[in-house]
Amino acid sequence: MALEIRNLHVKVDNEMILKGVDLTIQPGETHALMGPNGSGKSTLSYTLMGHPKYEVVEGDVLLDGESLLPLTTDARARQGLFLAMQYPVAVSGVSLYSFLHAATSAMRGYTEKARESGRGGRFNAHLMPAREFRKEVNEKLELLKMDPAFLRRYLNEGFSGGEKKRAEILQMALLQPQFAILDETDSGLDIDALRIVAEGINTVQKELDVGLLIITHYQRILNYIHPDVVHIFYEGRIFQTGGPQLVETLEAKGYDWVRAEVAAKG
């Protein structure tokens, strides 16, 4: 029952970006991943979700002991993996409501059941009952202090930076993953929103014993979501792993000492 990343090497457009990442997350654990711009943090998160642009050339990713690598992104999601993207994409013509309804239904097996029974073509047969979904989505909106009017808007279109981040966590709350990767979910959130979103994440984590990988540049979100483990990521690898005090070291010293140590080792 763990998410295990083993010796992961990943190429993007023929460039080696991840150079041997080892990381294991147990249910309920919170891991923080910090590292300079361009060190490969988002590459790691996209690779875990199975983005086709990222080519795994060595190593493996296991969920409950089974490799995720042969699986498509939606199959990985159904296995319990979730990614809140650093730059969520806008989809014109699809409302946040229909997107969440479809995604939640797929996660809960409605879509597959409808397909198997041959009723997939029938109106809404592949969706979880609207009333049930509406009730749940309202609870989650409340949790994240989001205006229900958002549901009618096209997915992320014209959403402010912070609104996009909240919409990502709303999605996480509905999809109920086992493991969630949050790629700079704190960036762009105002001071109140940061607290509300962090509390929302904590609630979801506690309810479902979610394992979290929080990618961030700053300590502030970690004041609300306390990491058990902190990793420093540098040039496509984990340079050092430690406890929460490592965040303070980074805030105080930046990454120069990491650069110096890596250079000294050759």
Ligand X SMILES: Nc1ncnc2c1ncn2[C@@H]1O[C@H](COP(=O)(O)OP(=O)(O)OP(=O)(O)O)[C@@H](O)[C@H]1O
CB of 227 to ligand X, least distance (A): 17
User: What is the chain's length?
Assistant: 266
Longest Cα–Cα distance of the chain, Å, equals 65
Give phi and psi for 86, each to the nearest 5.
Answer: -65, -40
Binding site for ligand X (CB under 6 A): 12-13, 15, 17, 35, 37-43, 86
Both tokens of 225, joined, read 């979501």
Q: Verify binding: residue 42, Mg ion, rule CB under 5 A.
A: yes
CA–CA dist 249, 241 (Å, integer): 12
CA–CA dist 141, 148 (Å, integer): 7
Which entry of Mg ion, ligand X, none binds 12, CB below 5 to 8 A by partner kind?
ligand X
Question: In the complex with Mg ion, which residue's Cβ is closer, 41 or 166?
Answer: 41
Q: Verify binding: residue 39, Mg ion, rule CB under 5 A.
A: no
Binding mask 50-89 for Mg ion (x = CB under 5 A): ------------------------------------x---
DSSP 69-123: TTS-HHHHHHTTEEEE-SSPPPEEEEEHHHHHHHHHHHHTTHHHHHHHTT-TTST
Question: In the complex with ligand X, which residue's Cβ is closer, 108 or 231?
Answer: 231
Question: In the complex with ligand X, which residue's Cβ is closer, 17 or 204?
Answer: 17
Which entry of ligand X, Mg ion, none binds 17, CB below 5 to 8 A by partner kind?
ligand X
CA–CA dist 23, 202 (Å, integer): 22
Q: Verify binding: residue 105, Mg ion, rule CB under 5 A.
A: no
Burial 196-221 (b: 16+ CB within 10 A, else e): bbbebbbebbeebebbbbbbbeeeeb
Binding mask 209-248 for Mg ion (x = CB under 5 A): ----------------------------------------
CB of 121 to Mg ion, least distance (A): 40
Question: In the complex with ligand X, which residue's Cβ is closer, 19 or 195?
Answer: 19
The footprint of Mg ion (CB under 5 A) covers 41-42, 86
